[in-house]
Structure 1
């Protein structure tokens, strides 16, 4: 198990996140996932809370699962969708301004979005999100990311990527607005689900409710 408790992850990454911030429980038919929502990403956090309180996510699926990468959910068109329906384009009818900053460590909660060629501002989907599973990194892999993306990781961020893993190739491209604080074992089980077309699990992984604490 690579996932570290929040207080240790906080120490490693040296982020300014408030450990007493808003938490949400994503209740699925495979178990519960508790996430901490970052106050620094105010637009994304407030939007997630709003949608949860409106029961927007109830009945939606984790519709895209890629081992060593992430599990994705939040498409309203996934509710009751037949097995052959392509998913991933639905939303509430709006986007959210980018609030890019935090790294894509193992357990990061981030917003999906359309590609740069149609979305150069890197605005986020109004509802779709993903949770990073990722892979353990090495100094060499992080050096390559720094060179390609012209970014610089501090020692604590490097230690976190090497200790718990993640997807640094996504850094500075997508908004991370929270992290898993419990239930990462559920995320890992979802990530290991057998998939068919479009990386969709053959057995539906359903969000039954999202409860704000």
Structure 2
């Protein structure tokens, strides 16, 4: 599978290839310098809904994610299914851009792969991309999200309404901040283990 590159303006132009998976390739736009500022600390505790709370174990600690089936039920269902299958365990963070986002979910580790399941239809909402927002990576076709996802380091309003939001980091964002940077990183970090709070070891 080949990755498609797209151009987005800063003052010069950046190219960022990402992927929805399932046999297709895609991209996520790159924020402008103004959009890259203003990080907001996101912390919190698990809302009493372990069935919709995911834990990502990273090398520096645990990241707690509150999933949003109210916004994107099909994306949440797919993510939970893959988590429960152990799909994300050991997968690389293959594209990590400072001031923008960290992306993972490709078993090939290149940005051109996905799960064995069909691509998902877009579930866009009015929910904004802020620090710690979980979004679905896709191609130019809005209906090509599959297994890849990204977590934003800061607010990214240019993604609002054009990428599916399906979760929010509520604790452990400092560990996301420490993921090795690069496109791809020289020594990529991995998701050590992913599991639902309802099935916590």
Q: Per residue, is there more helix in 1 or in 2?
A: 1
The structure-2 alpha-carbon separation of the partners of 1:194 and 1:36, relative to structure 1 and needing over 3 Å to count, comes to closer
TM-score if structure 2 supplies the norm length?
A: 0.71
Residue 171 of structure 1 deviates from its aligned partner by 0.6
- Equivalence for 2:20: none
Find the residue that maps to 1:207 and give its secondary structure.
Answer: coil
Please say if 1:53 is aligned against 2:76: no
Q: Which runs of 4+ in 1 moved over 4 A?
A: none
- Equivalence for 1:65: 96
- Equivalence for 2:40: 2
Q: Per residue, is there more strand in 1 or in 2?
A: 2
Residue 32 of structure 1 deviates from its aligned partner by 1.6
Structure 1: runs of 5 or more not aligned: 8-17, 79-86, 135-165
Residue 30 of structure 1 deviates from its aligned partner by 3.1
Correspondence for 2:139 among 114, 127, 137: 114
Alpha-carbon displacement from aligned partner over 1:35-87 (angstroms, at most 9, x marks no partner): 00002111111111100010011111110000111000000112xxxxxxxx1
Backbone CA RMSD of aligned residues: 1.8
Count residues in correspondence.
Answer: 154
Correspondence for 1:203 among 163, 187, 192: 187
TM-score if structure 1 supplies the norm length?
A: 0.68
Please say if 1:171 is aligned against 2:155: no
Please say if 1:96 is aligned against 2:120: yes
Structure 2: runs of 5 or more not aligned: 1-38
Residue 6 of structure 1 deviates from its aligned partner by 4.9
Alpha-carbon displacement from aligned partner over 1:186-210 (angstroms, at most 9, x marks no partner): 11111xx343xxx112222011211
Correspondence for 1:180 among 158, 162, 169: 169
Please say if 1:25 is aligned against 2:14: no
- For 1:38 and 1:124, locate their aligned partners in 2 and report how far apart those are by CA, in whole Å: 19
Find the residue that maps to 2:176 and give its secondary structure.
Answer: helix
Residue 3 of structure 1 deviates from its aligned partner by 1.5
Residue 89 of structure 1 deviates from its aligned partner by 1.1
Correspondence for 1:189 among 164, 175, 178: 178
